[in-house]
Amino acid sequence: MLLMLIKNANVALRFLLELCVLAALGYWGLQTGWELIAKIVLGISVPMVAAVVWGIFGAPGSPQQLHEPWHLILEVVVFGAAAIALAAAGQRALGLTFAVAFVINRALMYAWAQ
């Protein structure tokens, strides 16, 4: 019973991490732009591109979901980009925390075949 609860929490954490990818990329865009319009464009378009790519090729249940090892590569690229974006935007500790959370979550998902 407790293990099932932990497994469900891991799946919920995964969804939260996916949302954090969008937030991290949006934050990076807002911090990176040199003018207000560039900040807004980057803050909106970068997370949108990531969401579309993830929705087509990475999301569970997607008809075009990639198979291993390509899916793992996509995960590392998308989640790694979010961690790097946070670090580049001056949030190194948050970026590192995000990366560690992703690695632990992914390892548990693999171990439990989620």
SS (H, E, C) the chain: CHHHHHHHHHHHHHHHHHHHHHHHHHHHHHHHCCCHHHHHHHHHHHHHHHHHHHHHHCCCCCCCCCCCCHHHHHHHHHHHHHHHHHHHCCCHHHHHHHHHHHHHHHHHHHHCCC
What confidence score (pLDDT) does residue 61 get?
Answer: 87
Q: Rounded to an integer, what distance in angstroms lies between the CA atom of residue 72 and that of residue 22?
A: 18
What confidence score (pLDDT) does residue 110 get?
Answer: 95
What confidence score (pLDDT) does residue 8 get?
Answer: 97
> How many CB atoms are closer than 10 A to CB 35?
8
Query: Quick one: average pLDDT of 77-86?
Result: 98
Query: Quick one: average pLDDT of 4-13?
Result: 97
What confidence score (pLDDT) does residue 33 get?
Answer: 79
What confidence score (pLDDT) does residue 60 get?
Answer: 86
Q: What is the pLDDT of residues 18-75, one digit of tens each?
A: 999 999 999 999 999 789 999 999 999 999 999 999 999 999 889 999 999 999 999 9
pTM of the predicted model over 0.75? yes
Task: For residue 103, report the phi and psi dihedrals to the nearest 5 degrees.
Answer: -60, -45
Q: Rounded to an integer, what distance in angstroms lies between the CA atom of residue 110 and that of residue 28?
A: 29
